Amino acid sequence: MMTNKPSLISRLTSRREALKFLGLSVGAVVAGGAATRAQTVGNSESKPVSRKRVLRIAHLTDIHVQPERDAANGLIAVLKHVHDQPDKVDLILNTGDSIMDSMSQTDARTQLQWDLWHKICNEHCTIPMRSALGNHDIWGWTKSKSQTTGEEPKWGKERGLEALGLKRAYYSFDQNGWHFVVLDSVMPYRDKYKAHLGKRQLEWLEKDLAKVDPKTPVLVMSHIPILSVTPLLAPDVSATGDFEFGGGAIHLDGQAIKNIFKKYPNVKVAISGHQHLVDRVDYMGVSYLCNGAVSGGWWKGKNLEECDAGYGLIDLYEDGSFENQYITYGWEYKPNA
């Protein structure tokens, strides 16, 4: 006997549920607009769904500006490229190593590089910039080479923080519906450094994330990658035949940081530099993006023949999703510069 009951499909309230029932999925596709149209898969008559972009970010890292190797013109060129993006960039995130080096450089040499940084940024950058500290932005830790005692005013992190307009080496802020956490990757070890947060900063990170509304997506930035495959490409193999890479390559406390992120599923993206290589690791709901280097191989062409001078262009969406592209800006190595 026939019944008057409506069919199962007509009882499914939304088109999305109907598609799900039929085994079809709704897939999003990247496009440039503020609200991108998404393509539907499996049904050409479906209405497009949209997600709203809330922020377009240029992620600049490892700029390493210096008077040599035409680096100053390189920085001017990348800033022009960012400012000329037809689809406007709202914010620059700089994950450090802004100058070539101050960890093992004298007072005068350090000043020369920061002066160059300020001159170029003042003249060529009108987009707001938020920065993290890189190892090369820290003054004098290698005392023998930097000819410092450690007693000099602003020795260590203070000088780099001041140059980058920062009150603290780690901090957080909110913008356009996203929460941003800026970490300090670089801790002293002998006369150099290792990559970790230290106990106090780890505790601060946990407390900071606990205060964020679980519906607010989070982007974390650090100079050194929290998680990256790039150290595995290093040629060093130890005498016992094991992988061997230094504790300055990626975070030694990546496990502890990942465990904190696990408690806060709204942590979506973690961006970094330092390795001058491009990779992406998706792990436990977080995408770890290592976004190359503005300087490529320290202004001497590609790094490892694989990473061109470039920057990340990151779109953040209201729903917590993101898109990342690595953009080259046409920089060419000039051996005689």
Judged by the rule CB under 5 A, the positions of this chain that interact with Zn ion are 97, 134-135, 274
Least Å from the CB of residue 86 to Zn ion: 31
- Nearer to Zn ion by Cβ, of 81 and 274: the residue is 274
Which residue type sits at 259?
N
- Nearer to Zn ion by Cβ, of 53 and 274: the residue is 274
Which tokens hold the place of 153?
Answer: 């005013």
- Nearer to Zn ion by Cβ, of 178 and 193: the residue is 193
Quickly list H helices, the chain.
Answer: 8-11, 15-21, 71-83, 107-124, 143-146, 157-163, 199-210, 254-263
Side-chain-side CA neighbours of 336 within 13 Å: the count stands at 0
Least Å from the CB of residue 267 to Zn ion: 23
Least Å from the CB of residue 195 to Zn ion: 9
Least Å from the CB of residue 94 to Zn ion: 12
Least Å from the CB of residue 105 to Zn ion: 15
- Nearer to Zn ion by Cβ, of 201 and 222: the residue is 222
- Nearer to Zn ion by Cβ, of 133 and 267: the residue is 133
- Nearer to Zn ion by Cβ, of 100 and 257: the residue is 100
**Dist. CA 308–CA 224, nearest whole Å:** 19
The alpha carbon dihedral of 331, 160, 278, 280 has a sign of: negative
Q: Which residue has the tokens 């029932």?
A: 21
User: In terms of residues, how long is the chain?
Assistant: 337
- Nearer to Zn ion by Cβ, of 40 and 135: the residue is 135
- For residue 216, the SS3 value is coil
DSSP secondary structure string, 11-42?
Answer: HS-SHHHHHHHTT--B-----SSSEEE--BSS
Quickly list H helices, 125-272.
Answer: 143-146, 157-163, 199-210, 254-263
| Phi, psi for residue 280 in degrees, rounded to 5 | -140, 125
- Nearer to Zn ion by Cβ, of 134 and 225: the residue is 134
Query: CB burial class (10 A; 0-12, 13-18, 19+) of residue 95?
Result: buried
> What's CA 223's distance to the chain center, in Å?
8
Question: Which residue in the shown chain puts its C-beta closest to Zn ion?
Answer: 274
Tell me which residue of 275, 282, 281 sits closest to 298, measured CA to CA: 275
Least Å from the CB of residue 73 to Zn ion: 22
Least Å from the CB of residue 102 to Zn ion: 12
Side-chain-side CA neighbours of 257 within 13 Å: the count stands at 28
Least Å from the CB of residue 136 to Zn ion: 6
**Dist. CA 211–CA 237, nearest whole Å:** 43
- Nearer to Zn ion by Cβ, of 159 and 274: the residue is 274
CA distances in angstroms from 178 to 28, 65, 326, listed in the order given:
20, 30, 22
Least Å from the CB of residue 274 to Zn ion: 4
